Structure formats: C-alpha cells, structure tokens
Structure 1
Amino acid sequence: MTRRAGRLRTALTVFAAWSALAGGALAGAAPASGTPGFSRIAPGVSYTEFDIPAAKGVAHAHVLSVDLRNPRVSVDLLHPGAVAARSTVSQLADAQGAVAGVNGDFFNITETQHPGVEATGASVGPAVANGHTLKAAVPDGQRFGPALPPGTSTKDVLGVGTDGRALLDSLALDGSVATTEATLPLGGLNQYALPVGSVGAFTADWGQASRVRATCGTDTDRAAPCTSDTYEVTVQDGQVVSAADTPGSGPIAPDTTVLVGRETGAQQLRKLSVGERVEVRHRLVAAASKTPYHFAVGGYPVLRGGRPLAGLDDVTAAVRTAAGVSDGGGRLWLLALDGAPEFRSGLTVAEVAATMKELGSADAFSLDGGGSSTLVAREPGSSTATVRNHPSGGAERPVPNGIGVFSKV
C-alpha cells in the first residue's frame, strides 16, 4: 500500500481550480473526470488525491469520479455474502471484480455494554445488493457512529436505481407475519437490533452469527440491558417447525425464516404451534424514488441541493469517508481521507459537506470513518485493487459492506 509521494500536495492550487467551478457545479455541471490531476482507472472511472487545509490541520483526500452515464459503468454493494460478516474493502472488491471502491455503512463493531454478547458486524442501515434486499435499518438509538444530524435517520440511504441514477433517499421496512389467528407487523429484517416489543425476521442473508444481540438495548438506548422476554420460531416452507425461548445462531436455510420476538413480540410468537401455517412478507419502501433500487447503502446525508444540512458537527474532526452525487444523478463522487499520522486530524462533518460541494456534488452522504475509511482502485493493467489511502489503524479494517465500482472493458 503506497501513495505517490507529493502527488497533488499543492492543495490550494487544486482547490482553487475546483472552487472556480463550484458555481457551475451547483447547477449540475461537475468537473469532468478528465480534469487535470485525475488518472484513468477504467472506462468512466478516474482517481485523484489532494490536500485540504482544514481547521484542525491539513487533511489528505483520495477521490474517485464515477460516470454513471457511461454504459460500461455500474455501482453495486460490496459485501461478504452475509449481513453479519466482515471483510476488507480490497478483498471484497477483488472477490466481486470491482475496479474501485470505498467502505460503506457504520456497523455493530463492539458490545462492551452487553457482557457475553458478541458483536455481529452487521451494518446499521438498509442494504440492497444487485436489486436484492439484504436488510432494513435498526432503530435510531441503536446505531453506531457519530450523532445523526437533525432530520436524518438510520433509514437514510445512498442508492442507485435500476435506471442508473444515483440519489439520496430513505428506505423503510414494510412487512407482516400472517398467522391463522392474526396478522402481526414485522419490526425488523436481518437487523442486529429490533424495536422494543417487535418481531423480526432473519433469513439466509443474515449468516451464522447469533441473533441474541437483536434483543438487547432499546429504541433510544443502545447500552440498555438485553431483555429476558424473548422467543424464537423457525418457519420452513411456510410452516412452523420449531420454537425456542432464546434466539439461536447458525446458518439459516434458503427456504427458512427465523422469527425473533422481544417483549410483546415474544408473547405473540408463543401463541404459535408447531405445524401452524405462517406467511412472512417484507419489502423496503422508498420515500422518494419511484424506480426500484439496484443498490443502496446506509449512512446519513450532509448536503442536499447544494446546501449543507443544518446542525452539522463543525467541531469534531476525524478521518472520514463520503459519497457525492452530481449531474442529476449521473456522476458519483467517492472520497476517503488518508489516515497517515500527518493527516490524521481529518475533517469535521461540516468540512466534509463543504469539500463534497467543492467537488461538484449537489447532494452528499457520510459513510463510516475512522479506521474503516478505505479507498481502493486498480492500477492500470492489474486485476487486483490497491489501497490508495493509509487506513488510520495501520491496516485495512474488515467492514460489512462498501460501494463497489464496476467497469466493463
């Protein structure tokens, strides 16, 4: 993992050039990937790096410009094949054949508040991969990461529709559990935390991790104790085949759904009998897009319509990852800051929003940062991705998902 020494270290010159374009960028005209300083990774995909003079010191940014209007280019979720699993961005990119990518959503990284409960590694927000819904969002109070800006939630996503257009949106779970006696609302789908009093569904997409964490904390307090009022029902081919007082673990078969209930949800599941017919239905409903999503990843918005969101943190600086949208959804910008010691002071969330605006983004989205911040891209002629920034932990951190950039040669 190396970075070209001194490349584009004259940040004021680069930023001045982009600043001159900012007025046009707000009207939807982002700098083209052929702008001086960008190097071509693949058709429609270019890379650059530059310094950012910030309030807490100089930060160093690594940026991908992705032309979604190029018919050779697509974007999809990088993930290790299970919601409750992690891998490094470079491994995920190579496994899926991506030419470049960055890390994605915040995730359940630790469980120090709940002794004996293992962290699942599952992400916070909704996730859609290749048009398939993997999971829904945990309650706001159960998220990991910095405080959400006012007016945002764990349901917020950056997505690319089947029309190839990128946008910021919100995806809410709509689901039910229909039994012979009643129809129950579904409170979660492959989530490491379920709303208090709810029933959640776990499918083969979840993986092998224990489902106990889903019954810990509350909607407003992630550190609250795990509830003892739990019940689990296994539904196979639409029929209850087993039940247990506590959530289990291990792989779930493709034709099977495991229902986990807590408090009121547990009481409702106890009414079910082995052999009873149960129909589980779930989908994610978009607040804005009328087009189905090909890809979606969680995080939180920092810029809308060229304006920073109100209440963005302008005090706490850190190494960060972000994504931006310009050209009416036709271009995606992916940014990861460098975690090398000389740049580790990073940016505040407010500075991230300003940086994404300078790049030409009309809308921008914050992804996980700190030791997770990673940007990878292939060198010309290579079949493997190279880490372009220096992860602040000294090596790549395994993450649950990322944004993969694909380009057909």
Structure 2
Amino acid sequence: MDRLLRCAIALMLAAVSAGLMTPQARAGTDGGWVPLAPGVAYRELTVRTPHGEARVYAVRADLRQPGVRADLLFPGAVADRAPLTRLAGARGAVAAVNGDFFDISEEQHPGIEATGAPSGPAVFRGRPLKAAVPEAQRFGWRPPPGDDDRDVLGVGVDGVARTDRLELHGHVWTPYGSWPLGGLNQYALPVGSIGVFTSDWGARSRARAVCGSDESRADPCTTDTWEVTVRHDRVVSVSPTPGSGPIPEDSTVLLGREAGARALADLPLGTPVAVDYHLAATRPVPLVFALGAYPVLRGGHPLPQLDTVDVEPRSAVGLSHGGRVLTLLATDGREGTSTGLTVSELARVVGDLGCPDGVYFDGGASSTLVARDPATGDLTVRNHLDHGQERRIPNGIGIFAGPGPTSD
C-alpha cells in the first residue's frame, strides 16, 4: 500500500510540475486533470452549446518531460486500416487519438474498392510514406479558404510539435527524358501525371488512383493508363492496367494516367529508370513524423469561415507552450444525450483548453480517443462511439511515456 501511495504521489507531483493539473477549459464544468503517467494527464469535461451539452475527452502530453513523446500510429501499410485500440496497444501507447480523413467509400465508381488510405501526407521516422491527394479528391470535410490538402501536424527532430505543409518533389529519370512525379502512395493521382508506389503502399489494388479528376472525385476512372515495375533501376514488367498485391522492397511501381501513361508506355523492358522524391516542408526543421491535419485555430483565434452548422463527433489536437505540449481530444455526439460540436465550436474548445493553435482530424464515426487506466494498465476507448463500434482507421497519433523508442 505504501508503495502504491508513493507512486500515486509521484505521478501527481510530476503532473503539477508540468502544469498539467491546472484546469484551463472555461467551457468545462467537470474536474481537473488526472495523471496517467509522468507528464501525461487525462480529463473529461462538459461543454455547453446552443444545441445542448457536449462531452469532451482530453489527454495532455508534456513533450518536455523525459520519456514523453508522440508518434504516428498506422497499421504498417498506407492502404490499410485497424481500430485505434489495436494500433495504440501494439505500440504500447499511453493514449492516442484518430488521425486523417481517408478513402472510405467508392460508391461513384462501381467495381473499384476503397483503399482506406489517408488523404493527406504522412511521414514516419523521418521517411515519407505518402503525399497528398488532389484537393478535389479529398474524402470528407472541406477546409476553409487558406487551408491546403498538404497541411500536416508533426513533431520535428527538435522534439517540438508544429503544423507545416508538405509538398511532393520528385522525378522519373530515363534515357528518353524525365518527368515530374505527381503522387506517392496515394489513392488519387492528378490528371496526366505519374505516381510512384512502394512497399509502404501495401497489397491493395492501385486501380482507385486513376479515378476522379482534379475537379471532382466523382468523375469516372480513366482507361488511358500504364503501369511499369522497376527493380534494381531497370524496367522488369509493364501492364496497361493498374495492378494489386504487395510490392517487394527492392521494387517500385510507376503508374501513369493520360499523358503520364503515354510517357511510361514508351519504356521497353530493361530500360534504366531512376526515381527520386521527397516531401518538402515550409520550415527548416525536419519532421520525425507527420500526418494530414487541418488548422482551425492560430494564435488563439479560430480561423475564418469555419462551419457553424453541422454538429458531429469531433477529434482535434491543440498545441501550447510553443509546441512542447500537445492536447488530444475527442467528443461524443451520436450516442446518448451528449451532442457533438460544430467545427467552429471545436476550435473554441481547443482554445479554452489553453491551446493557441489547433488542428482538426477526421470526425463522425472515426472520432476516437483511447487512454490507459493507470490502475489496471488497460487501454480503453474514452468517448462514446457511433453504434458502440470502433471504426478501423488508417492512422492516428500515439502518446508514449517511458524510455526508448517503440517498434511496429
């Protein structure tokens, strides 16, 4: 008993010293922060709105605390999904929140399966996983003017969380000419472009990448396509249609549509091919991880033209103390008596929790926040889910407390 008491006191002192025990949500009516681990705390609160009371669940992580860190959670492939409890549990996370919007349905394209791949860019351990789909091909919420399909939230090599914008830069080099890359492991390619797919994509069919257009994701799929497999810098196979199945680590698949397809069709077997690419950021500090996120709050002010009508479950992350403290949150909204929030209301709640900057993640049935019970160690979903079921998601942010990095 004495040992348990000493541990509880140590956790409380660590939370107080990190500033995590001070309630800051003016809109909240419930208790303060409860420590989950040194530097990590949990809180539930109720927000009053004109349309009813919304229940909010939040985790605050002080990245200045030794051993506390954030990282990208994903199933190991870009085009794959898993419940957040499984993603967080497999990595030993203390808490986690769901991440980016993703390709969940393809009703407009009969015979084409949804890939489950996220819309925005993603970086894992400094390595680019994917680039952003064209703006019109993004699934789900449309951001206000000024936001961009390339916007991300990440943590740099300096340990500081920040928002940024990641743009794909890359080329295909051959003896017959060079062409810019229009995509990296993404479910939709710009019209007339060439996209590159690596082993990070997974086994899902690449057929969705040539559907839709730069104006509408509902536009039909093009049949003007060509796919080339490159291994050890040589073309080893060609196909007039997009393929599927795992891509070996020593291989790269180039998929072209329209003008991009015609360029690839001119490459016979054995052609030397070199491919280079990177995700260029607007800030000089390299990102250790990043995922698509949509700013709703900057400098303590909600962005203009945020939605004030649609009330849904929401997920968000707030940044404070110069990006050294993260606040993850999710709301109820489709189950029980708790209402959801509009995006405008979400931005204000993030601000009321002491965060001058904040981003919005996928909401609705995807909105999920999990946290470990400090007494039992069990990882549980804290918000009330749509129909009581966890939706499989492509990525999220995990919070870790303890020495050393984790592995997938």
One fold, TM greater than 0.5? yes
Give the counterpart of 1:179 among 166, 174, 186: 174
1:141 matched residue in structure 2: 136
Give the counterpart of 1:104 among 99, 106, 131: 99
2:351 counterpart of 1:351: no
SS in 2 for 1:341: coil
Q: CA deviation at 1:42?
A: 1.3
2:233 matched residue in structure 1: 238
The alignment-based identity, stated in percent, is 55
Q: CA deviation at 1:305?
A: 1.3
Q: Is the 8 A contact 1:319 1:344 kept in 2?
A: no
Summarize the alignment of residues 62-211 of structure 1 with structure 2, pairs less than 5 Å apart: 62-211=57-206
In structure 2, relative to structure 1, the CA distance for the partners of 1:81 and 1:383 (3 Å cut) is farther
Q: CA deviation at 1:343?
A: 4.5
Q: Which has the higher contact order (CA 8 A, sep 6+)?
A: 1
Summarize the alignment of residues 34-53 of structure 1 with structure 2, pairs less than 5 Å apart: 34-35=21-22, 37-53=32-48
Give the counterpart of 2:399 among 398, 402, 405: 405
Q: Is the 8 A contact 1:318 1:344 kept in 2?
A: no
Q: CA deviation at 1:316?
A: 1.2
Quote the Cα distance in structure 1 between the aligned partners of 2:338 and 2:46.
Answer: 12
SS in 2 for 1:272: coil
Deviations 1:316-358 (A, max 9, x none): 1111000110101111111100245234531111101111111
Is there any run of 5+ residues in structure 1 with no aligned partner, and where? 1-30
Quote the Cα distance in structure 1 between the aligned partners of 2:96 and 2:322.
Answer: 21
Quote the Cα distance in structure 1 between the aligned partners of 2:333 and 2:85.
Answer: 16
For 1:373, give the aligned amino acid.
Answer: S
Q: CA deviation at 1:175?
A: 0.6
Quote the Cα distance in structure 2 between the aligned partners of 1:135 and 1:343.
Answer: 39
Q: CA deviation at 1:243?
A: 0.3
For 2:314, give the aligned amino acid.
Answer: R
Quote the Cα distance in structure 2 between the aligned partners of 1:365 and 1:266.
Answer: 37
In structure 2, relative to structure 1, the CA distance for the partners of 1:344 and 1:124 (3 Å cut) is farther
Q: CA deviation at 1:189?
A: 0.2
SS in 2 for 1:342: coil
1:33 matched residue in structure 2: 20
SS in 1 for 2:200: helix
SS in 1 for 2:261: helix
Quote the Cα distance in structure 1 between the aligned partners of 2:368 and 2:106.
Answer: 23
In structure 2, relative to structure 1, the CA distance for the partners of 1:340 and 1:380 (3 Å cut) is farther
Quote the Cα distance in structure 1 between the aligned partners of 2:257 and 2:120.
Answer: 20
Quote the Cα distance in structure 1 between the aligned partners of 2:338 and 2:237.
Answer: 51
SS in 1 for 2:386: coil
Q: Is the 8 A contact 2:229 2:236 kept in 1?
A: yes
Quote the Cα distance in structure 1 between the aligned partners of 2:318 and 2:329.
Answer: 8
Deviations 1:97-140 (A, max 9, x none): 11110000000000000000000000000011222211000000
Quote the Cα distance in structure 2 between the aligned partners of 1:284 and 1:393.
Answer: 38
For 2:165, give the aligned amino acid.
Answer: S
For 1:346, give the aligned amino acid.
Answer: G
For 1:220, give the aligned amino acid.
Answer: E
Quote the Cα distance in structure 2 between the aligned partners of 1:345 and 1:222.
Answer: 31
2:15 matched residue in structure 1: none
Q: Is the 8 A contact 1:344 1:392 kept in 2?
A: no
Q: CA deviation at 1:381?
A: 4.5
Quote the Cα distance in structure 2 between the aligned partners of 1:229 and 1:357.
Answer: 48
Q: Is the 8 A contact 1:240 1:273 kept in 2?
A: yes
Quote the Cα distance in structure 1 between the aligned partners of 2:163 and 2:356.
Answer: 11
Q: CA deviation at 1:308?
A: 1.1
Q: CA RMSD in A?
A: 1.2
Summarize the alignment of residues 161-310 of structure 1 with structure 2, pairs less than 5 Å apart: 161-287=156-282, 289-310=283-304
Quote the Cα distance in structure 2 between the aligned partners of 1:313 and 1:49.
Answer: 24
SS in 2 for 1:268: helix
2:328 counterpart of 1:334: yes
TM-score (norm 1): 0.90
1:369 matched residue in structure 2: 363
**Which stretch of structure 1 is more off in the superposition, 254-263 or 382-391?**
382-391
SS in 2 for 1:400: coil
